[in-house]
Structures are given as C-alpha cells and as structure tokens.
C-alpha cells in the first residue's frame, strides 16, 4: 500500500483485530510513521443512547496509542456520533495536549445526517467520515457542501456500497470513455467518481485482498472525471437494475 502511494489507514477499536494487527504489521516492516493513522473512539454499545464513561473513552484511546505506536495519532473520530459531548470532550483535550493531530466524527446512516450536520456546526472538528458512492449520493446533497463551507476534511466510506456496486455491473465491461481516464476496472471507476467530488479529502475502500488494494490504489493515477463526465457516470449506473 505504502509503496504504491497509499497513505491513510482507517481503522477502529471495534473492528475486531484490525487496529491491533495493522499496528503490529506496520511496526514490523518499519512503516508506522509513513502511515496517516485514522482511528476512532466509542465505548458505548451499538445503538445505545447512554452516556459514555469518559475514563473508559480515555482508556480506549490509550489502547490505540499502544496498538498503533505513533504519537501524535493523526486522526481520532467519535464513531457513529456516539455521545459526542463526552467523547468529543475527551479527544479535544488530547488534541490540545498535542497527542492527536486531528479530531472528527463519523456516520454512515442517512437518518443521522441531521445530527452529523449539527455536530459539524457545533464542534470544532477537522474531519468527518461519511458514506458516499455513485449509487448512494445523498451525502453529496446534504453533507459534503457543508463540509466544504466549514473547511472540514472528508473521509469517504463505503465507496463500493460494500458488494452492491460490483453486483450491479457484473458481466459488464467498463466503457471505453471511462478507460480513457484510467478507470480500466469497475473499482477504479467507482473510486474516481467519489474522489472527484471537491469536498473529498480521501477515499477509504476496504479489502481483504492485496490484489484488490492495488486495483483500488490505481484509482489515484490517471485523470479524475470533470462534472460532465461525472454526470455520464451517474447516468450509466442509474440505468442499471438495483442490486
């Protein structure tokens, strides 16, 4: 990933062994400081409306420092907007102390977009993480323009709709006009589309396969589509049956 120009690694304490294993492997191959580490904090159970325990949140962040082995950590976001007053308070303090470079929050649920927009206005955040894909464009109407207006950086999550977009194009070739701008695979087509939004800072597709990672990084090469080509890309995908 790093050798091919990849820089950002997005993880979270709640992603099973992800933070622990990626931190260990990066350390073993001497790449820790060449990676921009984005991790998250949330000590509440999924969907819980309880208040988070600040000392538990601090302990979780300390665990991330240990697992990743880099200080300051580049970015810590409050996962899924969970108890922002408490957990944003914890990471804001650590940012003030110089232990975290950037702070933010994430949401990948359309029904939470009003809360995400409120958080973007109410808290002094540097980043958000939000779902955005060529067939999931609500963030481009509601959230990305606000990020641009407020100067907040954007990590694009779920750029393939998990496996949904690949199912929609199964059996089809990437059209020649897209291949001309370097999108010679569907993964590159989907990533180039979201990367070209002026509010996008970074796209974080996930994969368990090195071959797919190299394919995905290939989207960073060649051209990005302009507004006209992006409309053409949307029309093509919109014309296909839903997955």
Ligand X SMILES: NC(=O)c1ccc[n+]([C@@H]2O[C@H](COP(=O)([O-])OP(=O)(O)OC[C@H]3O[C@@H](n4cnc5c(N)ncnc54)[C@H](OP(=O)(O)O)[C@@H]3O)[C@@H](O)[C@H]2O)c1
**Binding of ligand X at residue 23 (CB under 6 A)?**
no
Question: Residues 50, 82: contact at Cβ < 8 Å?
Answer: no
Helix, coil or strand: residue 97? coil
Any idea what DSSP says for residue 123?
S
Which CB atom, from 20 or from 97, has the smaller least distance to ligand X? Answer: 20
* Beta carbon of residue 85, minimum distance to ligand X (angstroms, whole number): 19
- Residues for the chain: how many in total? 243
Least distance from ligand X to the Cβ atom of residue 37, Å? 12
Site map for ligand X, 84-123, x if CB under 6 A? Answer: ----------------------x-x---------------
DSSP 129: E
Question: What Å distances lie between residue 61 and 78, 80, 180, 206, CA to CA?
Answer: 11, 16, 45, 23
Q: Which of 67, 6, 10 is nearest to 34 (CA)?
A: 6
Q: Least separation, in Å, of the C-beta of 205 and ligand X?
A: 4
Under rule CB under 6 A, residue 83 binds ligand X: no
Residue 80, interface with ligand X (CB under 6 A)? yes
Smallest separation (angstroms) from ligand X to the CB of 163: 5
Verify binding: residue 163, ligand X, rule CB under 6 A. yes
**Nearest distance from C-beta of residue 105 to ligand X, angstroms:** 9
Q: In what order do the strands lie in the sheet with 202-203?
A: 8-10, 36-41, 73-78, 100-107, 127-131, 153-157, 202-203
Q: How many residues bind ligand X (CB under 6 A)?
A: 24
Give the residue with the Cβ less far from ligand X, 92 or 108: 108
Q: In terms of CB distance, is 191 or 229 closer to ligand X?
A: 191
Binding-site member from 23, 104, 159, 225 for ligand X (CB under 6 A): 159
* Spatial separation of the C-alpha atoms in residues 66 and 202, rounded to whole Å: 25
The stretch among 42-50, 51-59, 158-166, 230-238 that binds ligand X (CB under 6 A) is 158-166
Is residue 152 within 8 Å of residue 126, measured between CB atoms? yes
Structural contact between residues 139 and 130, judged by C-beta atoms closer than 8 angstroms: yes
Q: How many CB atoms lie within 10 A of CB 108?
A: 15
207 binding ligand X? (CB under 6 A): yes
Please, which of residues 32-71 interact with ligand X by CB under 6 A? none
Residue 187 interacting with ligand X (CB under 6 A): yes
8 Å CB contact between 205 and 191:
yes
Which residues bind to ligand X, rule: CB under 6 A? 10, 79-80, 106, 108, 129, 157-163, 166, 187, 204-209, 212, 215-216
């Amino acid at each position: 990933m790093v050798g091919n120009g990849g820089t950002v690694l997005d993880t979270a304490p709640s992603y099973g062994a992800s933070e622990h294993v990626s931190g260990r492997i990066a350390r073993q191959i001497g790449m820790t400081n060449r990676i921009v580490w984005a991790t998250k904090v949330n000590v509440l159970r999924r969907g819980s409306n309880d208040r988070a325990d600040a000392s538990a949140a601090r302990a979780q962040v300390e665990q991330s420092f240990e697992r990743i082995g880099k200080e300051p950590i580049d970015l810590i976001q409050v996962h899924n907007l969970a108890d922002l007053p408490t957990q944003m308070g914890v990471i804001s303090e650590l940012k003030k102390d110089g232990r975290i470079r950037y702070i933010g929050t994430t949401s990948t649920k359309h029904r939470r977009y009003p809360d995400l927009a409120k958080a973007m206005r109410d808290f002094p955040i540097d980043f958000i993480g939000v779902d955005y894909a060529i067939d999931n464009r609500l963030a481009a109407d509601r959230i990305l323009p606000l990020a641009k207006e407020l100067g907040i950086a954007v990590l694009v999550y779920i750029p393939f709709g998990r496996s949904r977009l690949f199912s929609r194009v199964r059996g089809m070739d990437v059209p020649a006009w897209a291949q001309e701008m370097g999108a010679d695979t569907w993964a590159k087509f989907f990533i180039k589309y979201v990367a070209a939004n002026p509010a996008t800072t970074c796209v974080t597709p996930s994969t368990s396969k090195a071959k797919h990672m190299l394919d995905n990084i290939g989207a960073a090469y060649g051209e990005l589509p302009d507004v006209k080509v992006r409309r053409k890309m949307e029309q093509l995908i919109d014309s296909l049956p839903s997955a």
